Amino acid sequence: MSTCATASRDLAEPLAGTAATARTWLLLEQPGPWGAKALTSSHLDPEIGRALETAAQGTGVRVALIRRPGRHADCHAPARHQVYVGHTVPGRTWLRGAVLDDPRELLDLDFAALGAGDHGGFGTPHTDAPLALVCTNGKRDRCCALLGRPLAAALTDSGEQGAWEITHLGGHRFSPTLLVLPYGYAYGRTETAAVKEILDGVRAGRVRTEGCRGNSAWERPGQAAELAVRTATGEDAADALRVVATASTDGTAPGWEVTVAHADGRRWNVAVAQGASLPPRPESCGAALASPARMDVVAVRAVPDGADGPTYEIPATVTSE
């Protein structure tokens, strides 16, 4: 039986502009099985899960559960919980960790401040291996389990100390999906060798654009625009580019003019249009066929010192689903 990931791969759907949006990630270790809505359907107290969801709403913080790869016995044994909080806005990225006896302590955090990039002294800086977070929640979509779990296990077997399973990254049809912290770039259709290259790049402060869905700090038009600038210019420094403005444009279909700025002062105006993916395909296993929206990068124009600069040719790989 065909899966949503198989259909997506066969249709060669582009990946750019499909990452989940979150300026800050709050990751709570919760061993054992996960349900489709893991915060309220796991061995985490559902009251705490609902309270975390409520606290995060509208703050730019996304809460997810994580666990180490491997077998997940259905037991209720109490355990201490590893927690990570990471802010992903380039130039201001940070990743901090703590171990808690009671996840209820997280409800004391200032979620609005976390979303704005202020960690408030939570935990200590994470200076170990970058986090490789692989979506494996088969209760949301079977592709995440069938494709994600083997990847997470292979990363662990290869010695990657930062490998974790995560409950949800969106885009089931792009499985196996991956989020890398501290920089917050997401990837799709990832294989073990590619992830090793991605993580080696992170250790050097670099971004691997092949297979990249975008930086979670930006909305979808900004994700596509930033990756388009990286593709056009060859810039791979993780903290080099920021989306500084996104304005809607007039037209029969939604569109945006996105301004991407370099840390050295250079700027680019990127025209992004919303299109529909054809032919129709399932967005998740068992779902009806649909034509999901995609982000099409139309032009990338360098604007040095406020004057119109050269327009770069946009490779087909920059068109984003």
- Cis peptide preceding 176, ω within 30 of 0: yes
Mean pLDDT of 243-249: 94
Strands 185-187 and 212-215, by their bridges, are antiparallel
Other residues' Cβ atoms within 10 Å of the Cβ of residue 305: 8
Question: What local confidence, expressed as pLDDT, does residue 318 receive?
Answer: 33
- For the full predicted model, state whether its pTM sits above 0.85: yes
Banded model confidence at residue 229, pLDDT cuts 50, 70, 90: very high
Banded model confidence at residue 317, pLDDT cuts 50, 70, 90: very low
Residue-wise pLDDT tens digits, 250-279: 877 789 999 999 999 999 999 999 988 788
Query: What phi and psi, each to the nearest 5 degrees, are found at residue 299?
Result: -160, 150
Integer Cα distance of 193 and 202 in angstroms: 14
> 11-32 burial, b for 16+ CB within 10 Å, e for fewer?
eebbbbbbbbbbbbbbbbbbbb
Residue 295: both structure tokens together: 């982000």
Banded model confidence at residue 75, pLDDT cuts 50, 70, 90: low
Beta-carbon contacts of 296 under 8 Å, excluding residues fewer than 6 positions away, are: 224, 272, 273, 274, 275, 319, 320
pLDDT at 97 over 50: yes
Kindly state the helix (H) or strand (E) to which residue 192 belongs, with its residue range: helix 192-203
- Cis peptide preceding 279, ω within 30 of 0: yes
pLDDT at 315 over 60: no
Higher pLDDT, 287 or 234: 234
pLDDT at 54 over 80: yes
Residue with tokens 């304005």: 247
pLDDT at 72 over 70: no
Higher pLDDT, 287 or 126: 126
Residue with tokens 């996960």: 34
Q: What is the mean pLDDT of the chain?
A: 88
Q: Report the largest interatomic distance among the alpha carbons of the chain, rounded to a whole angstrom.
A: 63
- Contact between 99 and 47 (Cβ < 8 Å): no
Residue with tokens 């994470």: 126
Integer Cα distance of 317 and 302 in angstroms: 20
Query: Can you name the residues that pair with 321 across neighbouring β-strands?
Result: none
Of 179, 178, 161, 183, residue with least CA distance to 241: 183
Question: What local confidence, expressed as pLDDT, does residue 76 receive?
Answer: 57
Report helix angle 192-203 to 149-157, nearest 10: 60
Banded model confidence at residue 1, pLDDT cuts 50, 70, 90: low
Question: What local confidence, expressed as pLDDT, does residue 156 receive?
Answer: 93
Question: What local confidence, expressed as pLDDT, does residue 321 receive?
Answer: 28
Residue-wise pLDDT tens digits, 130-155: 999 999 987 777 778 888 899 999 99
Percent of the chain at pLDDT exceeding 70? 92
Mean pLDDT of 231-260: 93
Q: Tell me the CA distances in angstroms from 264 to 88, 131, 201, one per residue in order.
A: 19, 28, 21
Percent of the chain at pLDDT exceeding 90? 69
Higher pLDDT, 212 or 1: 212
Strands 61-67 and 163-166, by their bridges, are antiparallel
